Structure 1
Amino acid sequence: MFKSTLAGAAMFAAVSSIAMGALGCDTLQPGPTGVVMQVTDGDTVVLQSGLVVRLVGTQAPKLPLGRDNFETWPKAEAARAALEQLALNKPVRLAYGGQSIDRYQRALAQMFVTAGDDEIWVQQAMVAQGLARVYSFPDNRQCLDELYRAEGQARAAGLGIWADPYYSLRAAERPGEILARVGHYELVEGRVLVADEASGRVYLNFGRSWKDDFTAVIDASALKLFAEAKRDPLLLEGALVRIRGWVDDRDGPRIAVTHPEQIEVLATR
């Protein structure tokens, strides 16, 4: 399916920026309007109509919200308070950029607070404060370029969650530390040692021992999205990348990559 060359990583990086730019907010579909009556946590609100809105494209620190044995993530209360200040009791409009309803019947929407003649894009505001991370899905990938820029600036400034080791960037060359984060959503940086295709999957290996070192795995359904975006993951061999996703443990720590925007190319050599 794909052909890998080291020089091609530069092309991957260039196409990545183009693809992310194409997934901006200019083609969102209009959704309902309303007033925010409740802020559940840093990425969920309830409108006056009773509609529960999940602020798609972001992940704020999580609260237990009635779940047994669930540990409150650092900065979770600060994130909820910040979202209350932004949106509680204020008129908002929703806009959709992909799947609009999840299995819990929550609206998956970008949310904009009306402020006189202006609007505040809530997701961008939360990410810019360092109180949410970029968190995308295969069926919801719009507006990510703007959110990545806001996240990068907040991280560089050490704002919010980025001042807490719980959310630190993980080094791919330290698989033991990543393994300790199984079940967590993590950002992992490192240089791809080998990019290889086998049994319909692409494996990005960050060490010589595939049973112990960190690996990113791209399955067949995700590869279709890479092909549509004209992004060949095999070209990432030798590139310095940042990969985000949920860590599991299958022959060492892994992240399953379900769509291209989970991979940021930081350098091609």
Structure 2
Amino acid sequence: MRYVTLPLVRLAVPLLGWLLLAGGASAEGLRVAAVLDGDTLELEDGRQVRLAGIEAAKPPRNSNPADGRVWPLAEAATRALSDLALGRRVLLHGPAPVDRRDRLLAQLVREDGLWLQSALLVRGMARVHTRPDARAYAAEMLAGETTARDAGRGLWRSRVYAVRDAADADELARDRDSFQLVEGVVLAVSKSGGETWLDFGADWRSDVTVHIGRAAMREVTRAGIDPLSYEGRRVRVRGWITLRNGPMIEITHPEQIERLEREPASAARRGSAPDDDDPWDDPWDDPWNEDDAEEDPE
């Protein structure tokens, strides 16, 4: 088996307290029986597990499978997870919530200590996508994502997954009902009744806005983040794009927002990929390029 040579993060299982979830798992963990997509797999006992904290390259929820479009890097992400996990034993870190599709959300570590989330992130096969009940190891996952993004690996070479410009409200409006990373300079901060708004344009009725509700503001403050000081600062936010007086991202937990002290070295900017006639034709459609690979030492 051949892998791109990358600085994988390996975690000591005892150190992080990896636990086996209920359901008859042995001390050796459970074998992966099937890989369903780039961040979802099925265990030998029939349970499905979604890798918590990441969003692999895949079509967004609002896409139409009937249109026959091949989504950039979706198959590559599935192959990546298959190469890493199929037929291998994994341990699940719990307790883990269950999503609306009755899938467990968990951090997964292979029997040899390889952390699957990190392995996918540093290869550029996924983005960090935490949620209020699945936030563990967000800092470590963000570091893996940054490594891939700054190197322009995988999905970070595709305009489909590129970081959006917060100043471009029209483009973000077209991204409605999809998960995106957005960067820009906050032009105005306002607060009312415990709620906070960060605006990236001159007109709050149509520009890109980040909303932080009361409960989320308490969580953000406890994490040492002060959004009220962000006016004039460059920030990166991640979340679902909705339309409410222009494109809006709702902050529900601290890991969704990052203050950027400098202009990031990222190659992943909307439009940074080579120009062509088909925006869906990704210029880097084979992340397992053997020219850049060597034998897996395992």
Query: What is aligned with 2:128?
Result: 134
The Cα shift of 1:103 comes to: 3.1
Please name the residue that 1:4 is paired with.
Answer: none
Deviation, 1:230, is 3.2
RMSD between aligned residues: 2.3
The residue correspondences of 1:118-267 to structure 2 (distance < 5 A) are 119-267=113-261
Hey, what's the Cα distance between the residues in 2 that align with 1:199 and 1:64? 34
CA distance in 2, matches of 1:64, 1:215: 21
Helix, strand or coil: the match of 2:171? helix
1:48 is aligned to 44
* 2:111 partner SS: strand
Q: Match of 1:31?
A: 20
Single out whichever of 70-79 and 250-259 deviates more from structure 2.
70-79
Distance 1:212 1:99, change over 3 A: same
Task: Report the residue type matching 2:237 in the other structure.
Answer: I
Whole-Å Cα distance in 1 between the matches of residues 99 and 207 of structure 2? 34
Structure 1 residue matching 2:33: 3-state secondary structure: strand
Are 2:106 and 1:109 equivalent residues in the alignment? yes
| Of 192-201 and 163-172, the range deviating more from structure 2 | 192-201
Q: Which residue of 86, 89, 101 maps to 1:88?
A: 86
TM-score, scaled relative to structure 2? 0.75
For 1:226 and 1:69, locate their aligned partners in 2 and report how far apart those are by CA, in whole Å: 41
Q: Is the 8 A contact 2:60 2:178 kept in 1?
A: no
Question: How far apart in 1 are the matches of 2:71 and 2:33?
Answer: 24
> Match of 2:55?
59
Task: Give the Cα–Cα distance (whole angstroms) in 2 for the partners of residues 225 and 126 of structure 1.
Answer: 28
Amino acid at match of 2:81: L
The answer to whether the 8 Å contact 2:97/2:133 transfers is: no
Q: Which whole-Å CA distance do the structure 2 matches of 1:239 and 1:64 have between them?
A: 30
Secondary structure of the residue aligned to 1:78 is helix
Cα distance in structure 2, aligned partners of 1:219 and 1:194: 17
- Find the counterpart in structure 2 of residue 14 from structure 1: none
Alpha-carbon deviation of 1:54? Answer: 0.7
CA spacing shift, 1:218–1:73, aligned 2, 3 Å: farther
The 1:210/1:28 distance shift into structure 2, 3 A limit, reads: farther
Corresponding residue pairs, total: 240
- Which has the higher mean CA deviation after the structures are superposed, 126-135 or 138-147? 138-147
Amino acid in structure 2 at the alignment position of 1:30: L
One-letter amino acid of the structure 2 residue matched with residue 31 of structure 1: L
> Deviation of residue 51 (structure 1)?
1.3
Flag the structure with higher helix content: 1
Q: Any conservation in 2 of the 1:185–1:247 contact (CA below 8 Å)? A: yes
Other structure's SS at 1:37 match:
strand
Shift of 1:233: 1.6
Structure 1 residue 178 displacement after superposition: 1.3
State the identity as a percent.
Answer: 39
Counterpart of 2:72 in structure 1 is: 74
Q: Helix, strand or coil: the match of 1:74?
A: coil
Q: Is the 8 A contact 1:36 1:46 kept in 2?
A: yes
CA contact (8 A) 1:184 1:247 kept: yes
Post-superposition Cα deviations, 1:207-256, rounded to whole Å, max 9, x if no partner, equal 11001111101112211211332322212222110011111111111111
Q: Please give the TM-score of this superposition, normalised by the length of structure 1.
A: 0.83
CA distance in 2, matches of 1:73, 1:88: 22
Normalized per residue, which structure has more strand? Answer: 1
Partner-residue secondary structure (3-state), 2:83: helix
**Matched position secondary structure for 1:186:** strand
Pick which of 79-88 and 173-182 moved more: 173-182
Structure 1 residues 165 and 152: alpha-carbon distance in aligned structure 2, compared to 1, 3 A threshold? same
Mapped to 1, the partners of 2:126 and 2:251 lie a distance apart of 20
- Distance change in 2, residues 1:112/1:205 (3 Å): same
Q: Secondary structure at the match of 2:20?
A: strand
Structure 2: gaps (5+ residues): 1-13, 22-28, 264-298
Instruction: Classify 1:209/1:63 alpha carbon distance in 2 versus 1 (closer, same or farther; 3 Å).
Output: closer
